Amino acid sequence: MSNLDTATAHILAIPCCSSGFTHFRRSDGSSTLTCYRSGGYAGCGRTITQRDIPAPAPGDTVTFQNDVLVYAVDPHATFTYRCRSSVHTFTAVEVNRYLRDICSWQELARSPFILEAARTGRAHHESGYGLKSTLTRN
């Protein structure tokens, strides 16, 4: 964990399953994390320990918010979004807003896309209509 100010960072819950509906949370304050669905419903049953959590990219941090495992993206990190012939440079908060308000992406598509780019440096997305987008961390 770093000294990142999570009040200004873009916070993304780390998903357990590829569906995006499930996340990890601490079980009774222990170091074991259990998959669950929002609303308190049971998830897939997968459990991990804190040592199973991949290291964050430089400047980012992995922490807990209300006992949910989250990834906090450095508020100063920038990303380049490419779709068709348009190219934009944004912070994580700005790209989230752009994808939501301008591109009409749902949360289940936005968060994993931004999280993958934050963690690995690059993310690709193809819509059901064949529209291809790329997000690259600068």
pLDDT tens digits, 31-62? 788 888 877 777 888 888 888 888 899 999 99
Q: How many angstroms separate the Cα of 63 from the Cα of each of 6, 53, 57, 66?
A: 9, 10, 13, 10
Identify the CA nearest to 138 among candidates 61, 82, 66: 82
Q: How many angstroms separate the Cα of 61 from the Cα of each of 15, 53, 85?
A: 15, 11, 33
pLDDT of residue 11: 87
pLDDT of residue 4: 53
Q: How many angstroms separate the Cα of 87 from the Cα of each of 37, 43, 66?
A: 35, 38, 36
From first to last of its 138 residues, the chain has per-residue pLDDT tens of 344 555 567 888 888 875 667 888 887 767 788 888 877 777 888 888 888 888 899 999 998 888 888 999 999 999 999 999 999 999 999 999 999 999 999 988 898 999 999 999 999 999 888 999 999 999
* Cα–Cα distance for residue pair 122/24, rounded to 1 Å: 23
Indicate the helix (H) or strand (E) that contains 4: none
* Cα–Cα distance for residue pair 91/81, rounded to 1 Å: 10
Question: What pTM, to 2 d.p., does this model score?
Answer: 0.85
